[in-house]
C-alpha cells in the first residue's frame, strides 16, 4: 500500500466524494487515509492502529460511502448495509456528522442511535429506512431486542475505538451484535492500542485483514509537545488560571479525574472571570452537546471534562490540553492528549502533577516510553514538606459509567474492581 500518496485523486475515490472532501478544505490525505481508503475500496478487512486525530474517520467513511453508492441496494425498502459501532454517544454523533458531510452529494441515508435520549424517535428513523447506522452498542442491542433493527443485510461492520469499547465493558454486547450480522461481510477494526484482548477480538472477526499502523504502538502523537509542571495539590487551580491568563490561551481542554472535580474547577474558573463549562457523565446528552458547541464556537474558553465525557471529542486543531489531574490509567493519558495536535497541527499538553501523583506519572512515562520534560513557574515551587495523600476518585457513584443510562455496571470488561470504581466517578 502506498504510504506517500499526497493527493486524494489517486486513491480511487469518485468525483462526488472528492468534491465533498475538497469542500472540507482537505488537500492531502493523512497517512491512515492513504492506506485505508484503497484497502477498504478493494473490499479487504482492515485492522488499523490509529488514534483520534489521525483522520481515521474519513479513512473509513469515504471508501464506505463509495462502496455503498457503487453497488446498488436490493429492491424494496432500504436495508442497513453498514454499521459503525462507537464507544460513546459523542463519538457516534461525530461519526454521523462526518458521514453526512462526506456523503452530502450522494443518495445514502444514515441514522445515529445512542443511549441517554428517547428510543422512539430512533426507532422511527430506522423504520424509515437507511443504509448506514452509527450506534453505541448498548442502545443498538436494545433496539435489536425490540426487533427495531435488522442487521441481516449488513455488508460492512466498523468498530471504531475498539479498545475503548472493550475498556467500557462492551465486549458481550459487541459479540451479540456481530452474531446478528452476516458472516460474509467486510469488517474494519480501529483501535488506538493493540492489547491482547483486541488481538483476540480481531482474530475472531477479521478475515485476512490488511494491517495499518500509523503511529507506533502506545506512543503519543508526535506533534504534541508534552510538559509536566510539578505543583502543590492546593495550588493547581491558581497555577492554571495564571497560565491561561499569561499565555492568553483561547481554547483549553482541561481534564479532571472526577465529576465533582470538574464542576468545582469550572466554578473556580468562572469566579476568576474565565468562562468555562464542565462535561461529565452526570450531564445530559443535550447539556454535553451544548457545552461542546459553545467551546467550539469560542464562547467558552475552557472545557473541563472527565475522561469518559471527553472521549471522542473532535475539535479541529485544539491547541491546549491540560491534565489538571493525571488519569489513573496510563492509556487514558494517550487518549487525552490525542485531543490536541490533530491531523498535522501543533498542540501542547501540560500536566499539573502534585506529590500524590508521582507514581501515576512514572506509570505514564513508562507506558509512552518517554520522559516528559518538566517546567516550573516562579512562585509555584513545590513545598517539600507536603506528604502524599491517597488519590480521591469520587464517592456515591458506584456502578455508573459515562456511556449510557447507568447500565454499565454489568460491563466491567475484565478490569479490576479498583479500576472499575475509579471509572465510575467520571
Ligand atoms: P479523526 O482522527 O477522524 O477524529 O479526525 C481528526 C480531525 O482531522 C478532524 O477534525 C477532521 O476533520 C480532520 N481531518 C481529517 N482528514 C483530514 C485531512 N486529510 N486533512 C486535514 N484535516 C483532516
Domains of the chain with bracketed CATH: 8-213 (3.40.50.300), 224-415 (3.40.50.300)
CA of 319 to the centre of ligand 1 (A): 15
Q: Report the pLDDT value the prediction gives residue 289, as an integer from 0 to 100.
A: 81
| DSSP-derived pairing of the beta strands 347-353 and 252-255 | unpaired
Contact residues for 334 (Cβ-Cβ < 8 A; gap 6+): 51, 192, 193, 218, 219, 220, 367, 368
Is 30 close to ligand 1, i.e. is its CB under 6 Å away? yes
CA of 342 to the centre of ligand 1 (A): 7
Structural contact between residues 281 and 255, judged by C-beta atoms closer than 8 angstroms: no
Is 94 close to ligand 1, i.e. is its CB under 6 Å away? no
| DSSP-derived pairing of the beta strands 110-113 and 320-323 | unpaired
Of the CA atoms within 13 Å of residue 156, those in its CB half-sphere come to 26
Q: For residue 156, what are the β-bridge partners?
A: 82, 186
**Nearest CA, atom 18, ligand 1:** 26
CA of 387 to the centre of ligand 1 (A): 44
Q: How far apart are CA 424 and CA 69, in angstroms?
A: 42
**Nearest CA, atom 12, ligand 1:** 316
- Residue entry with cell 488506538: 192
- Residue entry with cell 491531523: 343
Residue (of 225, 340, 322) closest to 265 by Cα position: 322
Is 367 close to ligand 1, i.e. is its CB under 6 Å away? no
pLDDT, tens digit, for every residue of 49-88? Answer: 887 778 899 999 999 999 999 987 777 788 999 999 999 8
Cα angle value 419/56/194 (rounded, 5°): 40
**Low pLDDT (below 70) residues in the chain:** 1-5, 215-223, 311-317, 339-346, 393-426
CA of 165 to the centre of ligand 1 (A): 22
Q: How far apart are CA 338 and CA 50, in angstroms?
A: 11
pLDDT, tens digit, for every residue of 361-384? Answer: 999 998 887 889 999 999 999 999
CA of 54 to the centre of ligand 1 (A): 6
pTM of the model: 0.61
CA of 5 to the centre of ligand 1 (A): 16
3-state class of 174 per DSSP?
helix
Ligand 1 nearest-atom number relative to CA 56: 3
- What are the E-state strand segments in 12-124? 46-49, 82-85, 110-113
Residue (of 207, 194, 217, 214) closest to 46 by Cα position: 207
Residue (of 330, 294, 328, 335) closest to 312 by Cα position: 335
CA of 29 to the centre of ligand 1 (A): 9
Q: Report the pLDDT value the prediction gives residue 337, as an integer from 0 to 100.
A: 82
Q: Report the pLDDT value the prediction gives residue 253, as an integer from 0 to 100.
A: 93
Ligand 1 site-directed mutation target among 57, 63, 84, 340, most atoms within 8 Å of CB: 57
Q: Report the pLDDT value the prediction gives residue 419, as an integer from 0 to 100.
A: 37
Structural contact between residues 321 and 339, judged by C-beta atoms closer than 8 angstroms: yes
C-alpha cell at 131: 443504509
Ligand 1 nearest-atom number relative to CA 317: 10
Q: What is the DSSP letter of 392?
A: P
Amino acid at each position: 500500500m502506498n504510504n506517500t500518496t499526497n493527493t486524494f485523486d489517486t486513491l480511487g475515490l469518485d468525483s462526488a466524494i472528492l468534491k465533498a472532501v475538497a469542500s472540507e478544505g482537505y488537500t492531502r490525505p493523512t497517512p491512515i487515509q492513504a492506506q485505508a481508503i484503497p484497502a477498504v475500496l478493494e473490499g479487504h478487512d482492515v485492522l488499523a492502529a490509529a488514534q483520534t486525530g489521525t483522520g481515521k474517520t474519513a479513512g473509513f467513511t469515504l471508501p464506505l460511502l463509495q462502496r455503498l453508492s457503487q453497488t446498488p441496494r436490493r429492491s424494496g425498502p432500504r436495508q442497513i448495509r453498514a454499521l459503525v459501532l462507537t464507544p460513546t454517544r459523542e463519538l457516534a454523533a461525530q461519526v454521523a456528522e462526518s458521514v453526512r458531510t462526506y456523503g452530502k452529494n450522494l443518495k445514502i441515508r444514515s441514522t445515529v442511535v445512542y443511549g441517554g435520549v428517547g428510543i422512539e424517535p430512533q426507532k422511527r428513523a430506522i423504520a424509515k429506512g437507511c443504509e448506514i447506522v452509527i450506534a453505541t452498542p448498548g442502545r443498538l442491542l436494545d433496539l435489536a431486542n425490540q426487533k427495531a433493527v435488522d442487521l441481516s443485510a449488513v455488508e460492512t461492520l466498523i468498530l471504531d475505538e475498539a479498545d475503548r469499547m472493550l475498556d467500557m465493558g462492551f465486549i458481550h454486547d459487541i459479540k451479540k451484535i456481530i452474531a446478528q450480522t452476516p458472516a460474509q461481510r467486510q469488517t474494519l477494526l480501529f483501535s488506538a492500542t493493540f492489547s491482547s484482548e483486541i488481538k483476540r477480538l480481531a482474530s475472531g472477526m477479521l478475515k485476512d485483514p490488511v494491517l495499518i499502523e500509523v503511529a507506533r504502538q502506545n506512543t503519543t502523537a508526535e506533534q504534541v509537545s508534552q510538559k509536566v509542571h510539578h505543583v502543590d495539590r492546593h495550588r493547581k487551580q491558581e497555577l492554571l488560571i495564571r497560565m491561561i491568563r499569561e499565555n492568553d490561551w483561547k481554547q483549553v481542554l482541561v481534564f479532571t479525574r472526577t465529576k465533582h472535580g470538574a464542576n468545582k474547577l469550572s466554578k473556580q474558573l468562572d469566579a476568576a472571570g474565565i468562562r468555562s463549562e464542565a462535561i461529565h457523565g452526570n450531564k445530559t446528552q443535550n447539556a454535553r452537546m451544548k457545552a461542546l458547541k459553545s467551546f467550539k464556537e469560542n464562547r467558552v474558553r475552557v472545557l473541563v471534562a472527565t475522561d469518559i465525557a471527553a472521549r471522542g471529542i473532535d475539535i479541529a486543531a485544539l491547541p491546549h490540553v491540560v491534565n489538571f489531574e493525571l488519569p489513573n490509567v496510563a492509556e487514558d493519558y494517550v487518549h487525552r492528549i490525542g485531543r490536541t495536535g490533530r491531523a498535522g497541527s501543533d498542540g501542547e499538553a501540560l500536566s499539573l502533577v502534585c506529590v500524590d501523583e508521582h507514581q501515576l506519572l512514572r506509570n505514564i512515562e513508562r507506558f509512552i516510553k518517554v520522559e516528559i520534560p518538566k517546567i516550573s513557574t516562579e512562585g509555584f515551587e513545590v513545598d517539600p514538606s507536603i506528604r502524599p495523600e491517597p488519590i480521591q476518585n469520587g464517592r456515591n457513584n458506584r456502578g455508573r459509567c459515562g456511556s449510557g443510562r447507568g447500565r454499565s455496571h454489568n460491563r466491567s470488561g475484565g478490569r479490576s474492581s479498583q479500576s472499575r470504581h475509579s471509572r465510575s466517578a467520571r
